[in-house]
Amino acid sequence: MSTDVNVDQTEIARRTIRKTDWAPHNAAFIDCRTPGSDRKENYAFIGGGVSQNAGQVINLTEEHGFNTGAAGMPNGISNNLHLHFTAEVFVNLGGEFRLRWGIDGKQGEYVSTDGDIISIPTWIFRGFTNEGPDDGILWTALGRDVTGGIIWGPSVLKEAESYGLYLTADNQLIDTVAGDVLPEDVALITPIQQKYVDDLTTYSVEEMRGRVIQPGDRVYSRSALLCASVPGGAAELSLAIGYGMSEDRRQVPRIHEPHSFNMAWVRAAAGEGLLRHRHDKNQVLLVKSGRWAVTLNGDPESTIEIGPSDSFSVPAGAWRTFQCLEVGDGGAGELLVVNSGDDRVYLEWAPEVVDAAREADWMIDPNGYLAPVGVMVTATEDD
């Protein structure tokens, strides 16, 4: 990168989304009056996601190449069956959720617990119920800036109509009980035809399990980043979706298919993290455990601290450093990193990191992966 991106204090504050900033909407979808679904809360952190209510609060509206949000649900509350056109990935921040899929929800089920990442395939119906004793949170990442909305299961639309709720073709929720008038110039959504339902892909329980990354499935690399050889930079990386920013040539993600974003776990002991670097992708950080310091611009005065369920949007091109300040229950701080795009994320390390790593016999090879300096100095350039 040739141009420095400076992030001032106002911009840092604007891009910080703390748990206390979460703004729920309990009428974001057409099933908001359906018994058993009437107490769910929808959150839109970055982008509007698939919310169908113009009153939905969006914390950060600018395009990132993906959307983030959350579903908050008390015990026994369900999100009814619906279909997405772009990727939908759940990150379980606490709770026990029974996910089901198929037009009738009987094609298969999976029970998700704290720490899971679940990538639901596009173009299948899915729904979920909080079966845990407490309020549960599923943090979500949705593919692309424009998701295209969702298609509800036929039974969901029919039941919503009995409560005075309709959905227009331009994705607006019409609440006739609240005084809304059915539009004359915009068509109402009707149930998907059976011939199209018959063409949808089916997924077995085993196939869906392959799209889940439980905490026990994570494979961490201690040499995924150039800074790992430098004091203060001993973060470990576990790929979840896509190859992302790993510099370990042998590291492979559990899920490969395009999502419009990539996702990985970073864990570190107190005092460790990622040293100064930058790249050309939009990036969102979500704290799963511990407390983290994020420093922008290479300036300690441009540092924020974020804790569990807080997130931060790092603009493309900005210098950034991540340091774990306090560990969680597992003896390390955990940070989820989401970068835009389906291709690899090539990091530019600050000169002091490059120099220190070279002293420790590490550098980046021409393919963007870690290599011993002692090997690379014996290589000959092509003519």
Q: For residue 179, what is the domain's CATH number?
A: 2.60.120.10
Q: Residue 361's closest CA among 221, 228, 220?
A: 228
Same domain assignment for residues 145 and 235: no
296 lies in a domain? yes
Domain boundary among 176, 191, 213: 213
- 173/182 Cα distance (integer angstroms): 10
Judge whether 2 lies within some domain.
no
* pLDDT at residue number 380: 66
Residues of the chain with pLDDT under 50: none
With CA atoms as reference, report the closest residue to 283 among 221, 220, 341, 343: 341
Q: Give domain status of residue 1, yes or no.
A: no
DSSP H helices in 63-161: 154-161
Domains of the chain: total:
2
Q: CA 194 to CA 174: how far, in whole Å? A: 25
Q: What is the DSSP string of 15-78?
A: TEE-GGG---BS-SSTTTTSTTTTT-EEEEEES-TT---TT--EEE-S--SEEEEEEEE-TT-E
Cβ neighbours, 10 Å, residue 334:
24
Write the pLDDT tens digit of every residue in 94-103.
Answer: 999 999 999 9
Q: What is the pTM of this model?
A: 0.92
Compute and round to an integer the Cα radius of gyration of the chain: 22
* Tokens 């040499």 belong to residue: 223
Whole-number pLDDT of residue 36: 66
Statement to judge: residues 180 and 40 lie in one domain: yes
pLDDT per residue over 259-306, tens digit each?
999 999 999 999 999 999 999 999 999 999 999 999 999 999 999 999
pLDDT of residue 55: 81
Q: What pLDDT is attached to residue 152?
A: 87
**Residue 187: left (phi > 0), alpha (psi -120 to 50), or beta?**
beta
pLDDT in the model for residue 30: 66
Residue 3 lies inside a defined structural domain of this protein: no
**Domain extent for 230:** 218-376
Answer yes or no: are the C-beta atoms of 153 and 81 closer than 8 Å.
yes
In this structure, the answer to whether residues 253 and 365 fall within a common structural domain is: yes
Q: Give the angle 91-83-38 at the CA atoms, nearest 5°.
A: 70
Q: What is the pLDDT of residue 333?
A: 98
Q: Are residues 122 and 27 in the same domain?
A: yes
The C-alpha angle with vertex 103 and arms to 101 and 108, in degrees rounded to 5, equals 30
Strand, coil or helix: what is 160? helix
- Asked if the structure places residue 15 within a domain, the reply is no
My answer on whether 189 and 231 are in the same domain is no
Inside any domain, residue 37 = yes
Kindly state whether residues 180 and 231 are assigned to the same domain: no
